[in-house]
Chains A and B, each alone.
Chain A
């Protein structure tokens, strides 16, 4: 059953009242802030501290439990994380047959064009510079709903 799972990345917020976002970041402060930012925009939020835990939640972990795939509408992840980076997480999601349509947004505190291009080329929906403001989340929502401002 795939109710609430947007099959295309456009209109992900359009069809869903309360989009479910998976936020991945190794910093507890960042997780707290991202969660609040998203909740203020009526999102349901699950947080994960690292890539492997995120993959596990998405049903792409070592146990590959496809019967338990969570209905996530968006993944937002930090780039710089120890172990698996946000870029590596992005790749794993885009490589999976079941999750590749889920939009992935990358966040970073550093504005490095190579890094940004690399992520966009790998299929990231958007790149956001930290610290993230409410207007950034608004823009994200607009972008994913294919709004014209």
Chain B
């Protein structure tokens, strides 16, 4: 198998794994469809923006949960925003943790919230690694003269 075919196979296997594990869902494929010659780096741009925003949101959530009197509405607003962004990029696991998180906010359950915050941080980290791996694979395919397969 030549280099391009090998990288492409790896790409298929990796995206399959990411979908099976629930890291990415169909919406990620939708996101990829938006990329074209006019905006060849669109997906990377959106993903970078997502992680920039998520850092701010996570900090805000952590700070809000540290207060003596926790403003659960404020935490919920952050989680709502985070859930929305996660949905846009197809980050299914993150989105699901956010759903739980919002329930704990509504119940004003501090312990539950703190647990979810930790989970969100872990999932975010894992997703970042996974996407970096995926983008690296894609760069390798292109560098070897191949084209990135279409995600269905």
Interface of A is mostly: helix
A134 and B80 contact, Cβ closer than 8 Å, known pairs A29-B46, A29-B50, A32-B45: no
- Show the binding face of B for A, using Cβ within 8 Å: 27, 30-31, 33-34, 36, 38-39, 42, 45-46, 49-50, 53, 80-81, 83-85, 87-88
- A-B interface, 3 closest residue pairs, ranked by CB to CB distance from nearest: A109-B84, A131-B88, A131-B87
| Interfacial chain B residues near A130, Cβ < 8 Å | 84, 87-88
Which residues 122-137 of A have a CB within 8 angstroms of B? Answer: 130-131, 133-134
- Show the binding face of A for B, using Cβ within 8 Å: 27-30, 32-33, 36-37, 39-40, 80, 109, 130-131, 133-134
Interface of B is mostly: helix
A32 and B27 contact, Cβ closer than 8 Å, known pairs A27-B84, A134-B34: no
A36 and B49 contact, Cβ closer than 8 Å, known pairs A29-B88, A130-B88, A131-B87: no
A33 and B83 contact, Cβ closer than 8 Å, known pairs A28-B53, A131-B27: no
Query: How far, in Å, is A37 (CB) from chain B's closest CB?
Result: 7
Q: Is there an interface contact between A29 and B39, defined as CB atoms closer than 8 Å?
A: no
Query: How far, in Å, is B52 (CB) from chain A's closest CB?
Result: 9
Q: Is there an interface contact between B34 and A30, defined as CB atoms closer than 8 Å?
A: no
Query: How far, in Å, is A75 (CB) from chain B's closest CB?
Result: 20
